Chains A and B, each alone.
Chain A
Amino acid sequence: DAGVIQSPRHEVTEMGQEVTLRCKPISGHNSLFWYRQTMMRGLELLIYFNNNVPIDDSGMPEDRFSAKMPNASFSTLKIQPSEPRDSAVYFCASSLRGGLAGADTQYFGPGTRLTVL
């Protein structure tokens, strides 16, 4: 299995530009999670999906952030417009059963390092 795939691995953009991060979860997994990691705030859950449906987006920082999961094998996290404070590493993770099984293991992708100038 290829694991969770994220693209791009690195993104450098200018303030005000739109940024789209992509994630392909492990085949057969029903839940997908987006996290943001910064030195100041650590690892934060932004949003998660069960069976392609957003369940909890309370971690999404503001309206500039949006996430979609059009099918079981693809999700996007979009920032529009981007700001320098959005600079972080964004991780996608997937799990087999998600919220229905509290002990479910989450498998993380390698992350996208975003730099907004």
Chain B
Amino acid sequence: GNSVTQMEGPVTLSEEAFLTINCTYTATGYPSLFWYVQYPGEGLQLLLKATKADDKGSNKGFEATYRKETTSFHLEKGSVQVSDSAVYFCALSDQNQGGKLIFGQGTELSVKP
């Protein structure tokens, strides 16, 4: 079945450091891939998405490229801020399974000033 695996957290960085959160997936079809972010006490918000191989999603300085050959969708940001502290979820949606989202376990990011 479809699944998503993320690197375990928590990840602790200093402000302006480079961020990578690894995400790999297993899917039988051709999924769309997403990164959602959850700030403390809030629901999840879409951060970025990519719908086909080699697409790059980007938003708020975050980027992720859909790599079919490595079944990966790693999240990157060149310079993190304290306000980026949150839990990040990688997810996939397979139209062959009704488009429902399958989430990874989430990676907590803590950015220190």
Interface residues in chain A, defined as those with a beta carbon under 8 Å from any beta carbon in chain B: 4, 33, 42-43, 45, 48, 55-56, 91, 93, 98-111
Determine the chain A residues whose CB is within 8 A of the CB of B98 once the complex forms: 48, 55-56, 98-99
Judge whether B46 and A105 touch: CB under 8 Å: yes
| Most interface-central of B32, B34, B43, B101 (chain A CB within 10 A) | B43
The contact of A99 among B43, B100, B102, by CB within 8 Å, is: B100
Judge whether A105 and B103 touch: CB under 8 Å: no
What are the 9 tightest A-B residue pairs by CB atom distance, in nearest-first order? A108-B43, A102-B95, A99-B98, A99-B99, A103-B32, A103-B51, A108-B44, A43-B103, A102-B99
Question: Mind listing 28 A-B residue pairs with CB under 8 Å?
Answer: A33-B100, A33-B101, A42-B103, A42-B104, A43-B103, A43-B106, A48-B98, A48-B100, A56-B98, A56-B100, A91-B43, A91-B44, A98-B99, A99-B99, A100-B99, A102-B32, A102-B93, A103-B51, A103-B93, A104-B93, A104-B99, A105-B34, A106-B46, A107-B46, A108-B45, A110-B42, A110-B43, A111-B42
